[in-house]
A and B are shown apart, each in its own frame.
Chain A
Amino acid sequence: MSKEAQKEKSMILQKEMVSSLFNDLAHAKELGKKVCYTFIPGNLSELIQTFDMLPVYPEINALQSAMRKKSSAYIKEAERHAHSEDVCTYVKCDVGMMMKGNIGPTGQKIPEPDVLLLSYTGCFTFLKWFETLKREYPNAKVIMVHTPYQENGEITSEMTEYMVKQFKEVVIPEMEKVTGIKFDESKLKRHLTLAAEAEDWITKIFDSTKHKPSPIDAYFAGVYYIGPINIGFRGTQKAVDYYKELYKEIQERIDKGLGPITPEGEMKEEKYRLVVEGPPNWTHFREFWKIFYDMGAVIVASSYTKVGGVYDLGWRHDPERPLEALAEYCMNCYTNMNIPQRIDLLKKCIVDYDADGYVTNSIKSCNSFSAGQLGMMREIEDSLEVPVGFIESDLVDPRYFSYSNIKNRLESYFQMLEQRKKMEAVPV
């Protein structure tokens, strides 16, 4: 098989997975499956699977709408219904999509929720988002778990117990009621085993950026790679197969000394290696990416690809402690870590992947990410003496993406890196 064909295999797999999920969703009633709306950070994918439910991720729908250039109309629709200009644009995009018939990325209708499962409360907007959805879908059951923030940079046994208690007393009984299925711990354990396996593979994949040139872009391509593990397949054999295949393809690139693939083909020369903090802009994703690859900049690590779980430091879903594992997972997502923990994680990325610079994309819509970003940047700049850059855009509202301003800042930033590189090249 040619290299090109192999390269496509993981993409084909992913496409099949996504379309089968949306197909199942469109036929949820016929399939007799209940539908659970939930969010990526702290998603209880394996528990949802244990109860044979189908997951819907509103923020994924929102970013998909943005990439298909539909978010602007959805946001306007939501604003017409009195959602203020300052409301998170993921929310407005989702609400607007719902108002316009709730047609998902595959063109099929997304069913109404049976359950609104809020398993991560670190983002206050999530609470309000589901309050809004509850008004629209009065028959949906709201299940809310309170996730303690890692205020002191650790997960204590009390915190885990507190969450496990909520699972036992609220989440599991409510899910049993909605689905009519009795909780089967051994089934959950099987899913957790598969989850841990996928987590091992994705860790290896994102660790491949250690190579020079880096075989992947851990941000712009990374957002595709995290698809299966984040949107409901973590805990399934399908996810394991996908990541095995992807890893194989990446390994081939490493063997051949190839750089990452961009929409305009393979990146020829890796000039700068960067770590990026913050979500990408989705409305101008391609343009945004192009500014980087045109300059020979590859992203070797990003915090955004860790929103659905931080696996770098060795944590895995442990099937032997099923509910404790779920609890730890929820508390361990990137935005639930305190600022010093995030700084340490990012510093580790910069050092491990030998990055030349650190760039923050500050998102107007997202407080979970934006809070503390400047301080983190200062701390990283001071302790590692790494050149830092700061740009601003938004998730899915095209009105907040100014191409020329972003390009101007990034151009200046790359010239700054260039100077720095030249200085470092001079022998002591």
Chain B
Amino acid sequence: MKKYYLGIDLGSTTSKAVIINENDEIIGRGITNTRANYKVAADIAKDEAIYDARFTLLTNKLKEEIESKPEFKKYMEDIRSIFQYRQFKRRMDSLEKKLKETVDNYNYENKGEIAVALNKIIETIRPQIRDEFVDENLGSKNQFFRDIVSQRYNAEVEKTNKTLFEPLMLAFDKSITPVENKMVQFNFKELVDESMKLLEDKYKGLVGEPEDGKKEDWYYAELNAVKNNYKNVETSLKEHIDSIAEENIHIANMVGTGYGRALLPFPEDCIKSEILCHAFGAHAVFPDTRTVLDIGGQDTKAIQVDSHGLVTSFHMNDRCAAGCGRYLGYIADEFGISLNELGPEAMKAEKETTICSTCTVFAGAEVKELLHNGEKRPNILAGLHKAIVQRAMSLIARSGGVRNEFTFTGGVSRNQAVLKYVKQMVTDSYGDVTMNIHSDSIFMGALGGAMFARRNIEVVLPSKKKRPVLKHA
């Protein structure tokens, strides 16, 4: 039986899971938002990583076809998105039920009116989300259940009568938490079968390339290929699906890390510090890494590693939010935009407005003042992004500076504006060093954990000589 290893990184904002094989290759990733119930967050991330692993195995089996035939590539992309939709749908069903229950228990005089409005919202967003999954690949966008629903729900609430605003928002707040904290069990095969049916409907209904096609040519090429040949894909897929669905993804060992690690139901020696895991993961992906900067939700870490990926020293900012992901979250709230929009907006800046405040809360007041004085939003955002990176740079300096290759990890490394300033400032301070940023950077901690799990914690490492003997007078 093949052995797999699981790493779970229970962060303050997101929970990540990574499954690796015996060659340290990532075969599955799962991510979800961290919620009050840590165990559920970890289990959801883990289940997602296992589904993802099954798809990876499936993809590997169809490797030749996927590489040579566009319809296979397209089909595999689509089925993953739809598979996510099927999971989403189960949760959505229970949320709908919960929302209706909540409103049913209201004591408001206009309860009936609220219920009608709620129904209307549900009926509007349900197909809307379905279409986005089926036609626009929403599943590939790494958005969490809560975010997907709340974004559309809120937009619809805005459109209703003002008197309904509060009760409708309250209904959502009251319903989302219990739904999120409940674990839903899925059957992989069932979900894949459902997804294939849905895809069949989609492809059957496809019409030819529209005259005013705005998409790239390859998009239609793939679509046409799959439209004409999806039956072949289905047949090939069906051959494998049963074996993949039944394959025992045997998790031989696992390691938990991150802020919530102490709450994971793991034995003590399967819990590792996130500092060690991030460093180990980053080093595995980029073996020449000597300095790792990790900007997460609630802290920033500058870590120095040796040639084996082991930490030699680290420095953390855990006193102040002004320098980590939560700062960006707060700023996004201040501007009333989503976290994902922050970076692109800041990239539009003509200059960086200087933000003096070193405190997250006071920066909020400063931002309001600047807006009031007519400062442009992108410029302010650019200033805020720069401020975060400046704090990270001081942490790097405290930890010993940038030595050899530099790798940037953590959720915040997905933000283009942060990335821009990191590149700029690292180059300014340390010259032309190689800088690594990986699309999997948010998973580095979980990857490191999985790698420790594979080594069964008992790290077998090359020998390292004892420190030189010091002669003193």
Contact = CB atoms under 8 A, between A and B. Distances in A.
A427 B459 contact: no
Nearest to B315: A390
Contacts of B465: 424, 428
Contacts of A419: 276, 310-311, 459, 461
Given A351-B472, A383-B470, A392-B319, A423 B275 contact: no
Contact of B276 (A348, A386, A416, A427): A416
A385 B468 contact: yes
A347 B472 CA distance: 9
A99 interface: no
A423 B461 contact: yes
Interface string A375-389: 001100101111111
Interface stretch (A25-33, A72-80, A168-176, A405-413): A405-413
B466 A424 contact: yes
Given A383-B470, A420-B310, A426 B319 contact: no
Provide the main secondary structure of the chain A interface. Answer: helix
B467 interface: yes
Interface string B313-325: 1111011000000
Interface in B432-473: 458-470, 472
Interface string A171-187: 00000000000000000
A344 interface: yes
Contact of B316 (A348, A378, A409, A426): A409
Given A344-B472, A351-B469, A381-B313, A415 B464 contact: no
A412 B261 CA distance: 12
Contacts of B275: 412, 416
Contact of B459 (A374, A412, A422, A428): A422
A415 B464 CA distance: 17
Contacts of A420: 310
Nearest to B311: A416
B236 interface: no
B150 to A, nearest CB: 30
B281 to A, nearest CB: 15
A381 B312 contact: yes
B306 to A, nearest CB: 9
Interface string A387-406: 11110100000000010010
Interface in B241-299: 259, 272-276
Contacts of B311: 387, 412, 416, 419
Nearest to A426: B463
A389 B313 CA distance: 6
Contact of A424 (B308, B313, B316, B464): B464
B211 to A, nearest CB: 60
Contacts of A402: 318-319
Given A392-B319, A419-B459, A412 B472 contact: no
A167 B286 CA distance: 64
Given A405-B318, A428-B463, A416 B310 contact: yes
B276 A426 contact: no
A347 B468 CA distance: 12
A415 B315 contact: no
Contacts, number: 86
B189 interface: no
B167 interface: no
Nearest to A390: B315
Contacts of A408: 259, 273, 318
B358 to A, nearest CB: 15
A388 B276 contact: no
B91 to A, nearest CB: 32
B257 to A, nearest CB: 10
B467 A384 contact: yes
A348 B461 contact: no
Interface in B83-117: none
Interface in B189-233: none
A408 B298 CA distance: 13
Given A415-B273, A416-B310, A428-B463, A351 B470 contact: yes
Given A348-B472, A351-B470, A428-B463, A387 B273 contact: no
A118 B310 CA distance: 48
Contacts of A428: 463, 465
B398 interface: yes
Given A351-B469, A374-B398, A384-B470, A426 B461 contact: yes
Contact of B462 (A378, A392, A405, A426): A426
B313 A411 contact: no
Contact of A423 (B272, B273, B464): B464
A117 B315 CA distance: 40
B276 A412 contact: yes
Contacts of B398: 374, 390
Contacts of B467: 384-386
Contact of B314 (A374, A378, A385, A412): A412
B329 interface: no
B364 interface: no
Contacts of A350: 470
Contacts of A390: 313, 315, 398
Nearest to A428: B463
A306 to B, nearest CB: 16
Contacts of B472: 344, 347-348, 351
Contacts of A411: 273
A427 B465 CA distance: 9
Contacts of A377: 313
B70 interface: no
A426 B459 CA distance: 11
A384 B459 CA distance: 23
A344 B470 CA distance: 10
Contacts of B469: 351
A13 B308 CA distance: 52
Contacts of B468: 384-385
Contacts of B276: 412, 415-416, 419
A100 B255 CA distance: 53
A412 B276 CA distance: 7
A19 B310 CA distance: 50
B267 to A, nearest CB: 15
Contact of B400 (A344, A378, A389, A392): A378
Nearest to B399: A390
A424 B313 CA distance: 17
Given A348-B472, A422-B459, A388 B464 contact: no
Nearest to B401: A378
20 contacts: A351-B469, A381-B312, A381-B400, A383-B470, A384-B468, A385-B467, A386-B467, A387-B313, A389-B313, A408-B273, A412-B314, A419-B276, A419-B311, A419-B459, A419-B461, A422-B459, A423-B308, A423-B310, A424-B464, A428-B463
Give the 10 A-B CB pairs with smallest separation, nearest first: A412-B273, A426-B463, A412-B275, A385-B467, A423-B464, A405-B318, A351-B470, A416-B311, A428-B463, A423-B461
Given A384-B468, A386-B467, 7 more contacts: A381-B312, A383-B470, A402-B318, A409-B316, A416-B311, A419-B311, A428-B465
